[in-house]
Structure 1
Amino acid sequence: MTLSAVTDIPALLARWVAERPDSEALRFGDSRCTWAQLDERVRRLASALRAEGIGRGDRVAVLDLNHPSCLEMTLACARIGAANAVVNFRLAPPEIVYVINDAEARLLLVGPEFEAAAAALADRIPGVARTVTAGEYEAWLAAHEPEEGPAQTDPEDCFVQLYTSGTTGFPKGALLTHRAMLAHADNVAHSFEVDTSAVVQVAMPLFHVGGTSYALLAIAHGARMVMLRMPDPAAVVAQLEEEKITHTFLVPALMAGMTQVPGVAERDFSAIRTLSYGASPMPLPVMRACLPLFPGRMHQVYGMTEACGVVSALPPSDHDDPAVAHRLLSAGLPIHGVEIEVREPGTGEPVPTGGPGEIWVRTTQLMAGYWRQPDATAAAITADGWLRSGDGGHLDADGYVYVTDRIKDMIVSGGENVYPAEIERVLAEYPGIADVAVIGVPDERWGEVPRAIVVAPDGVDEAAVLAHCREHLASFKCPKGIDVVAELPRNPTGKILKKDLRKPYWADRESRLV
């Protein structure tokens, strides 16, 4: 199905309600929901939001593990011109407060595991006028009649706001619009053959572009969606077989756990058409273990929140052909509707084939910008529509993209983007630390993990410093170790030379991503 005639998300629901109202749209645990039922719930939620005074341009937030209510919130926001700022539930309390306040969220939907935390933070999120708990949600919906009439939307409206870690130490809200998300769904379907016969597994968290964009991919093409509350390896394996999943997106750390599930080699995965993986480096031992489980069906993908998800893919043919084994180190070819070039970071000029530079992306699936950050938006997106990814790499003669470093020092750990500036901001507040730099170092399970290099004339109590980090940062952002040095290497202008700091850790690796 082409989406060229569709201009907004509510039009998708309307189409499937008209064409297949009684077909199953969403399965979560023991609950099932048809397209007609999903549409009714979304319209009830739209009425409930309006009753709270929420309308065009407003934000709500969801703090929960995966649940259909978060997706319903996104779809209801799409209907009324508002946006759902999905909060990363792995964040530490100060980070959660920052995201909710930055989004200017007026309503907060909280899952059962987070009700106590949300109550404790209530006085620090004064803009939230109403908190709805999971236990109140169904009654809240039932108290409102489904909204009638056409949706109030514009293709350029942001309806979901996903937060990326910030290079200045604070996350940024990426404004993902109807236009961009529909373009992503259309472009991905060209490569991965998603249609009404597909059964799409949503295993990744909805705060992640690999969760929300994948869910919207299913909705865009009328596919049946099966959602997991948490990406547990055993649960993913069981669901792939039992639900006859045809399409899924997973991160390498999760796939590593799946290879260790007892009896996994005897499972029937024949229904799978496309197993996409990405968001962090794939260790070669994990790759070797997965290829026999999913022969001819593995697609490595490279993408970013700012582009609504996938921008390039390495097809199964390049996984299975020994003659092109070197391509396993690449991020594949640009998908349909995406241009990729490599530019010189300082000047923005194209570099010759094979030459190193910054990966630039141009596509209709780009975000509208960063919420309330015009300077950051202007720095990321050029006047002629190119997104500066911040990733370093090169293009080979066949057009394959190789991601070899991170221009902005971002660390990708187990599929999570971690910016050293966030960690450095916390460490700099610790008594006795005079200077600090955080780098990514290799890790067999997570691809890379943060490590702190500090200047501390009187030494440091590593356990105490790490405990301090855990109080202020999500666990995946906390350094996995601390090295004390006499001084940090700097260039003549005073900038820390992180490349020099990383070198001894990555000396035996071809790049930071393999």
Structure 2
Amino acid sequence: MAHLGGIWGVLQSLVGGQQIALMERFEVDGWVARVRQHRPGVTGLPPAGLRMVLDAGVANDALASLQAITTGTARVGPELVTEFEDRYGIPVLVTYGATEFAGPIAGWTVDDRKAFGRAKPGSVGRPYKGVEARVIDGVLEVRGGHLGPEWRRTSDLAHIDDDGFVYIDGRADDAIVRGGFKVSAGAVADVLEQHPAVSGAAVVGRPDERLGEVPVAAVELASPVDPAALDAFLRERLPAYQVPVEIRVVDAIPRNPTMKVDAVAVRRLLG
């Protein structure tokens, strides 16, 4: 309930006359116990929750009632979606929204998953009925539905394909300016999380006398790997100026109660 996504889900359940099972704080065993007890057809997990379920090795039969899982509130790497779907055979429906939108405004549906399968990796889905989206100068704008008739400019960099699927390419306000070159912290973290040994990543800016700011990264590991190997992995996929000057392995990336990366705490951690 600390995030609008949770409030939205509760309101939808109340309107639909559905039961609600709340947890004071997410932890895998408690979540699995509630799924076993209440046998929901659809439930939601943030990306970090999907990763925790995978890492905990939850048995497939524990999730047998689920026909779909919605996810959002933070960036969702397509590799995470694929891994979860391959493990459990449950469609993962990514949604997109923001607090200022009072809920989700775009997302995948079960029908779209059936029609397009994995042909749209990285997409957050299509605008919901009544909502329009466009991209102006690389930044997503939306209107319609409960948003009203005027175009609203978001803080997200995006593109929209010919089928109307929206792709979030980073945030206009998470840019690290390194010697005049802009680095999207979220985009670099996404690439780090493509490495099979990395279960989570966060990238922030560190003040630098010469360049103004440089990217640094914290990573959680699924299996042992040397930071030098991660550096080489990034250099094969990114321009040199986007590669963090330090990649630090941590036990746990700081997160807030909604399990989003706490960028302020990560900056303190990495100095």
TM range (shorter): 0.5 to 0.7
1:240 aligns with 2:21: no
* Cα distance in 1 between the residues matched to 2:162 and 2:102: 27
Question: Alpha carbon RMSD of aligned pairs, Å?
Answer: 3.2
CA 1:403/1:284 → structure 2, altered by over 3 Å: closer, same or farther? Answer: closer
What is the SS of the residue equivalent to 1:291? Answer: helix
1:340 aligns with 2:133: yes
Match of 1:255 among 35, 41, 50: 50
TM-score (norm 2): 0.65
1:476 aligns with 2:262: yes
1:449 aligns with 2:203: yes
CA 1:402/1:219 → structure 2, altered by over 3 Å: closer, same or farther? Answer: same
* Matched residue, 2:120: 327
**Deviation of the 1:359 alpha carbon:** 0.9
What is the SS of the residue equivalent to 2:173? Answer: coil
* Cα distance in 2 between the residues matched to 1:447 and 1:403: 18
Matches within 5 A, 1:97-112: none
Q: Structure 2 regions of 5+ residues with no counterpart?
A: 177-182, 194-198, 217-254
What's the CA shift string for 1:371-416, capped at 9, x where partnerless?
A: xxxxxxxxxx9xx522211111111111111111212227xxxxxx
Report the more deviating stretch, 332-341 or 280-289: 280-289
What is the SS of the residue equivalent to 2:56? Answer: coil
Q: Structure 1 regions of 5+ residues with no counterpart?
A: 1-205, 345-356, 367-380, 411-419, 421-436, 463-472, 483-514
- Structure having the larger proportion of residues in strand: 2
* Cα distance in 1 between the residues matched to 2:184 and 2:117: 36
TM-score (norm 1): 0.36
CA 1:217/1:288 → structure 2, altered by over 3 Å: closer, same or farther? Answer: same
Match of 2:142 among 358, 361, 368: 361
* Matched residue, 1:386: 151
What is the SS of the residue equivalent to 1:404? Answer: strand
* Matched residue, 1:278: 72
Match of 2:100 among 306, 319, 328: 306
**Deviation of the 1:213 alpha carbon:** 1.2
Contact 1:359 1:389 survives alignment (8 Å) = yes
What is the SS of the residue equivalent to 2:24? Answer: coil
CA 1:289/1:333 → structure 2, altered by over 3 Å: closer, same or farther? Answer: same
**Deviation of the 1:236 alpha carbon:** 1.7
What is the SS of the residue equivalent to 1:218? Answer: helix
Q: What is the percent sequence identity of the aligned residues?
A: 22
Counterpart AA for 1:358 = V
Counterpart AA for 1:302 = Y
Contact 1:318 1:327 survives alignment (8 Å) = no
* Cα distance in 2 between the residues matched to 1:315 and 1:285: 19
Q: What is the number of residues matched between the two proteins?
A: 208
**Deviation of the 1:265 alpha carbon:** 2.4
CA 1:363/1:234 → structure 2, altered by over 3 Å: closer, same or farther? Answer: farther
